Amino acid sequence: MLGCQFIDSLNGGKRRVAVEHDRVEARARGGRLGLGTGRQRHSLNLATHATSTRPEPKVLATIRPQGENEADSRSHRPDPTVAPRKTPLSSSASFTGLRPAALTFLRALKRNNRKEWFEENRTRYEVELKRPLLALIEEVDVRLASLAPEILGTKRSLFRIHRDVRFSRDKTPYKTHAACWFYHRDAGRSVGDNAAHGGAGFYFHLAPGDVFSGGGVWMPPRPALNRIREAMADDPDGFTAIVTAPAFTRRFGALDPEHVLTRMPRGYDVDHPAAAWLRYQSFTADHALDESLIGSPKLVDALIRDFTVALPLVRWINAASGLLPATSR
């Protein structure tokens, strides 16, 4: 027998109302709790209140009313079989250009490359560099969806400002430039020895007095490098046609010769038809940009022009690594 008392006010006076439950039975039916069918009336005979409008006692709030459909009770639960919606790249506005303060910050960071200084000026980095560059990446990604759907620009395209100093003699903690990497969706964003697939993509670099775009793959890991060389050996004319095309040479000049062996790699003759390219360990091309462009939304157009010319090189390298082009996202 469950009995409780309610105190209610009516016509300015207090009136005691006895509420009596004969019995509340809890029965488990198919994993559910149900209410008993015995007398469950409340002796509330208030002239101004209907029984249907009386609030439920709190003790019963967590018990599902009898007859409720089990499916209804699950209708608001998340469905684990439905993939969650992707978080937008950023909440920043469209790219309108970087302010001069962006380069000012990088110059100051070069003079004060210390954790204490950076933490004091972190807001400057977020406002002047990180947010505008995320907006730039987002707009370039929209354009890449038509130009090269397999190449992505995401929030992970923006390189971290922190340096990896574990194996470096230079222990300064921060980079004094900013950079973005647009990568093949099946390869991931890693570059260099950390890139398992050695995928090629597009690059944007920003530093005081050094602004440029580029395309290709930088220092791919040995398995990927071997695949690229094998593809060159099989199709030397095809690769040569790409990197000597007039549009390519006008825009980029030639492949960057920074990492070129003095001798032929093992297994290839010095008179091989692809000898000119087989000694390369890195396959990149870059184009210097006018620094004034970074303060304008026209930077997006300039990058897309460069990426369009570099696209045949990027796709050739990716195909050698089994990373195929796409026609849509």
Structure tokens belonging to residue 157:
């395209």
Instruction: Tell me: pLDDT of 287 over 70.
Output: yes
The Cα-based distances of 127 to 93, 134, 163, 205 in angstroms read 12, 11, 20, 18
Q: Are the CB atoms for 310 and 252 separated by under 8 Å?
A: yes
pLDDT at 89: 52
What confidence category does residue 44 fall into, taking pLDDT thresholds of 50, 70 and 90?
A: very low
For 314, counting Cβ atoms within 10 Å of its Cβ (0-12 exposed, 13-18 middle, 19+ buried), the class is buried
Over residues 120-142, mean pLDDT = 98
Strands (E) in 36-177, as ranges, are 151-152
Question: pLDDT, tens digit, for every residue of 204-220?
Answer: 999 999 999 999 999 99
Please tell me which residue, 134 or 2, carries the higher pLDDT value: 134
Terminus-to-terminus CA distance in the chain, angstroms?
A: 66
pLDDT at 143: 98
HSE toward the beta carbon, residue 245, CA cutoff 13 A: 14
Cα distance between residue 275 and residue 264, in whole Å = 7
Question: pLDDT, tens digit, for every residue of 156-203?
Answer: 999 999 999 998 999 999 999 999 999 999 997 766 555 556 799 999
Instruction: Tell me: pLDDT of 48 over 60.
Output: no
- List the domains of the chain with CATH numbers: 2-73 (no CATH), 100-320 (3.30.930)
pTM for this entry: 0.71
Residue owning tokens 């009770």: 73
Cα distance between residue 132 and residue 7, in whole Å = 62
Element (H, E) at 309: helix 298-320
